[in-house]
Amino acid sequence: MVFSSLTFVCLFLPAVIAAYFIAPKSARNLVLVVASVIFYVWGARIAILLVLVSVTVNFALGQAIAAAVPVRRHRLISWSVAGNLLVLIIFKYTDFLIDNINSIIEPIWNWRIPALAIPLPLGISFFTFHIISYLVDIYRGIAQPQRSALAFTLYIINFPQLIAGPIVRYRPIAGQLEHRSVSFSDFDQGVARFAAGLAKKLLIANPIGAVGDHLFAVAPSDLPIWAVWLAVLCFSLQIYFDFSGYSDMAIAMARMFGFRFPENFNYPYAATSIKEFWRRWHMSLSAWFRDYVYVPLGGSRGGTLSTTRNLWIVFLLCGAWHGASWNFVVWGMWHGLFLSIERLRAVDFVLSRSPRLVRNLYTLLIVMVGWVFFRSATLELALDMIARMFGLQSGTQAMLPVSSHVTAPTMLLIVLATFFAFPIWPRVKEFAQKAIGSAGEQVAYDILRATLIGLITVLCLATMTIDQNNPFIYFRF
């Protein structure tokens, strides 16, 4: 079950909302826990056992770490983090490791280790990071262990953020697990944001993604250069609107239930450096790696070499976190490379004195080339695509026209989506509010807003009746 399905929008979510507000406040956590288990079982029946066992064990570990003396506490946190990472590695990386070992031993002994084909539990990367941050914060003494097993379970498996984030730290949300309230404004804003996220996914990401999928399925040498760039642009828009749409829906549903989840996107394609891009893209993940990997490694407190090493380690892990493939590792290292380059004084001097447009175009170029590694099935295909992008690979003589790859309405959608991937909408909204407010017609604005939300919802429902299969890209991670 995904957020962008009729079952979820028309049945599951309304039922959970109704049960939540009918139930007494003391039972609302239980309602959300039961709903989260049902939500997870719907898509991964057996894996729920892993999740519940992990929740049980780590709840006990949190209590033990808090009560232990310093020496034992250090030993407990080391084994706790290692154990959680081992579970992640077993389920997510076993076959990847076996494949790489086979590439070494097969030419020598003509024998292969059979793949285990372990099913990947939904959201394992996200709930593992939630658990690790909880345990580490207790170890550091900046958070107290949760005394309620029910509240801790809700923190880990709360269905809005269980599958694909945002990564919610325990300390900011600890109080909300015990006491929270929902105002009419909260619910109203939650509904509006959920509709916006649904529209991002169904009305923008999916049709643009279909064009990108079609173009990526064609050999780069069979495409004109403009079509290769169009393929990369389509994926760049697809992954942004798909993932930010999911984050919008997660944050919106959390708000309907009284939670305040952290923002996860802030128009990353408007960034003027790779450093700024990672302050705007998947912000909860960036902050997690900063606080739990980069800073403990020494951050930027050492010299240039140690800082560069720390950056590369972080983005090597960040790339691997996204998937068990060398493509993701290279993607992470690609970003680590340019983050290191931007720290050079000469590069920083040039960038800081360049026009904003030039800096933005530089950032977009690096990000889009990186997306080729992220999207391609293999490294070889990614390199072929990049070679064709820059005219380093010759194409076939017969090239199909643009109309054979994308229709005029979809091309218009791609153009509009490109504009709205930049912070244009907030300015339009602010202008409309000021214009209507100055005329004393706030009621007219509210009616217009409600009409727009209703129209978007109807269009999304109509889209869902045609295509029920709408998985989010980050569900794979």
- pLDDT tens for each residue of 250-263: 999 999 999 999 99
Q: Which of 247, 199, 215 is nearest to 375 (CA)?
A: 215
pLDDT tens-digit map of 318-331: 999 998 899 999 99
Q: Within a domain: residue 444?
A: no
Rg (CA), the chain: 24
Residue 322 appears among annotated catalytic residues: yes
Task: Check residue 239 and give its pLDDT.
Answer: 96
Name the domain boundary from 417, 433, 464: 417
Q: Report how far residue 23's alpha carbon sits from residue 19's, in angstroms, rounded to the nearest whole number.
A: 6
Q: Are residues 220 and 102 in the same domain?
A: no
Task: Check residue 64 and give its pLDDT.
Answer: 95
Q: Are residues 70 and 196 in the same domain?
A: no
Q: Within a domain: residue 428?
A: no
* Residue ranges making up the domain that contains 300: 186-417
Please give, one letter per residue, the 3-state secondary structure of 322-385. HCCCHHHHHHHHHHHHHHHHHCCHHHHHHHHCCCHHHHHHHHHHHHHHHHHHHHCCCHHHHHHH
Q: Are residues 410 and 288 in the same domain?
A: yes
| DSSP string over 263-275 | P--S-GGG-SSHH
Q: How far is CA 341 from CA 275, 308, 312, 338, 348, in A?
A: 10, 9, 11, 5, 9
How many of the other CB atoms lie within 10 Å of CB of 355? 9
How remote is the C-alpha of 201 from its chain's centroid? 13
| DSSP string over 98-125 | HHHHHHHHHHHHS--PPP--PPPPTTHH
Q: Are 327 and 379 in contact (CB under 8 A)?
A: yes
Total tally of structural domains belonging to the chain: 2
Q: Which of 338, 320, 339, 337 is nearest to 328 (CA)?
A: 320
Task: Check residue 21 and give its pLDDT.
Answer: 95
Q: Are residues 159 and 207 in the same domain?
A: no
Q: Are residues 193 and 251 in the same domain?
A: yes
Q: Within a domain: residue 447?
A: no
Is the preceding peptide bond at 296 cis, omega within 30 degrees of 0?
Answer: no
Task: Check residue 403 and give its pLDDT.
Answer: 60
Contacts 24+ apart (CB under 8 A), 443-450: 449/192
Q: Within a domain: residue 332?
A: yes
Q: Are residues 332 and 381 in the same domain?
A: yes
Q: Are residues 237 and 377 in the same domain?
A: yes
Name the domain boundary from 118, 151, 179: 179
Rounded to 5°, angle at Cα 198 from 260 and 191: 50
Q: Are 186 and 258 in contact (CB under 8 A)?
A: yes
Q: Are residues 245 and 364 in the same domain?
A: yes
Task: Check residue 115 and give its pLDDT.
Answer: 86
Show the tokens assigned to 321.
């976190």
74, amino acid identity: H
Task: Check residue 218 and give its pLDDT.
Answer: 87
Q: Are residues 161 and 215 in the same domain?
A: no
Number of H helices, E strands in the chain: 23, 0
pLDDT tens-digit map of 461-475: 898 888 766 677 776
Q: Are residues 169 and 294 in the same domain?
A: no
User: b/e for 101-124, b at 16 or more Cβ within 10 A?
Assistant: eeeeeeeeeeeeeeeeeeebbbbb
Q: Are residues 22 and 48 in the same domain?
A: yes
Contacts 24+ apart (CB under 8 A), 314-317: 314/289, 314/290, 315/339, 317/289, 317/293
Q: Report how far residue 208's alpha carbon sits from residue 238's, in angstroms, rounded to the nearest whole number.
A: 6
Q: Are residues 301 and 253 in the same domain?
A: yes
Active-site annotation holder among 130, 179, 282, 322? 322
Q: How many residues does the chain have?
A: 477
Name the domain boundary from 179, 203, 234: 179
Q: Within a domain: residue 168?
A: yes
Q: Report how far residue 101's alpha carbon sits from residue 108's, in angstroms, rounded to the nearest whole number.
A: 11
Q: Within a domain: residue 439?
A: no
Q: How far is CA 309 from CA 302, 336, 343, 346, in A?
A: 10, 9, 12, 19
Task: Check residue 205 and give its pLDDT.
Answer: 94
- Interhelix angle 149-157/170-178, rounded to 10 degrees, is 130
Q: With a cut of 70, which residues of the chain have pLDDT below it?
A: 395-404, 433, 436-442, 445, 468-470, 475-477
Q: Within a domain: residue 442?
A: no
Show the tokens assigned to 435.
């214009």
Q: Within a domain: residue 450?
A: no
Q: Is the pTM of this model over 0.85?
A: yes
